[in-house]
Amino acid sequence: MKLTSKQSSLAEENHNLIYAYLAKYNLSEEYYGDAAIGLCKAAQTYDENYGTEFSTYAYMCMKHACMNAKRKENTTIPCESMNVSFIESGEEVLYCVPDKTDLYEPSLAMLDLKLFMRGLKQSDREMIEYKLQGYNATEIARFKGTSRQRIWQIVKRLREQYRRYIYD
């Protein structure tokens, strides 16, 4: 991530926000790098015209970066439980958490997903790839040039198609 000199100095001046954020939310030092990425993203995208203090905006960006890191830690390979959702701050993220009803070996579950994806349109395959990489609906909407609500509709449709594929 490239920062301009102005953005770089903004991040450097507010470097202590990382430690304050980690302390406030009782996060260990292992999230320092993720919080630092969030701070850099905040410096890169901050707009003074929004009327928000930089520190408030930076906390939000650090929260999203740390949540994405936690989400990736907790994400397992796709399986029958693909209908399980993680909901945090109104963001729904499709990922798989195996439950007691899963009978698949992990390698078979991944094979099932790959076979399922073969029959999809390219845009639907991309959507699943984004979700597996941990992107949230807002980020995907930005990539695709559409609304977050539309992304949620597509994810819901894909989830239902996958469920039918597994059980039919």
**Which run of H or E residues covers position 109?**
helix 106-118
21: which residues sit within 8 A by CB, 6+ positions away? 27, 35, 58, 59, 62, 63
Tell me the three state secondary structure of residue 144: helix
Q: pTM of the predicted model, to two decimals? A: 0.46
Query: pLDDT tens digits, residue range 96-153?
Result: 433 433 444 444 566 677 778 888 899 898 888 888 888 888 999 998 899 999 999 9
**Which run of H or E residues covers position 112?**
helix 106-118
Nearest to 133 by CA among 85, 81, 77: 77
What integer pLDDT is reported at residue 65 of this predicted model?
86
What integer pLDDT is reported at residue 111 of this predicted model?
64
Furthest C-alpha separation in the chain: 57
